[in-house]
Structure 1
Amino acid sequence: MNIEWQDHIESSPEVLKGKPRVKGTRIPVSLILGYLASGASPDEIIEEFPDLTPEDISACLLYA
């Protein structure tokens, strides 16, 4: 899978005080990374946040 994190991650001062987030959502990258660090699989994260795609999760890792 060849993705660019810039296609999936955005940051703007008006939303979440500028924290990086998944485009089109209010889901911060740090939240996704926290789920992954605690052992959650991408499928489990998508089950919790159905607006996310596997590419979004990969982009969070690339961003980090």
Structure 2
Amino acid sequence: MSNVIKVDPEILGGAPCFAGTRVPVVSLFDWLQRGHSISYFLEQFPSVRREQVVELLEEAKAQTIPHTTAS
């Protein structure tokens, strides 16, 4: 996810941010938890690309939901 998340101690004290921005990744989850859509989040943070959000969510899903195979 290095193309999605960047950690730099010089940017927001090293908080994980969307690469190329100063937008902390946690902001996305906070906005979603409050019931806002991804589209609304992107309107509020235009420096974040939709592709970044989708890739982040896909990676989070892959790490938290076990893959099952059909028999």
Which one has more relative contact order, counting CA pairs under 8 Å at least 6 apart? 1
Aligned residues: 60
CA 1:33–1:10: 2 relative to 1, 3 Å: same
Higher Cα Rg, which structure: 2
User: Does the CA contact (< 8 Å) of 2:23 and 2:48 recur in 1?
Assistant: no
Listed as ranges, the gaps of 5+ residues in structure 2 are: 62-71
**Residues 1-64 of structure 1 mapped to structure 2, 5 A cutoff:** 5-61=1-57, 62=59
Give the TM-score of the pair, scaled to structure 2: 0.71
Stretches of 4+ aligned residues off by more than 6 angstroms = none
Name the CA distance, whole Å, in 2 between partners of 1:7 and 1:63.
15
CA RMSD between the two structures: 1.8
**Structure 1, gaps ≥5 residues long:** none
**What percent identity do the matched residue pairs reach?**
32
AA at the equivalent of 2:5: I
Distance between the aligned counterparts of 1:13 and 1:63, measured in 2?
A: 23
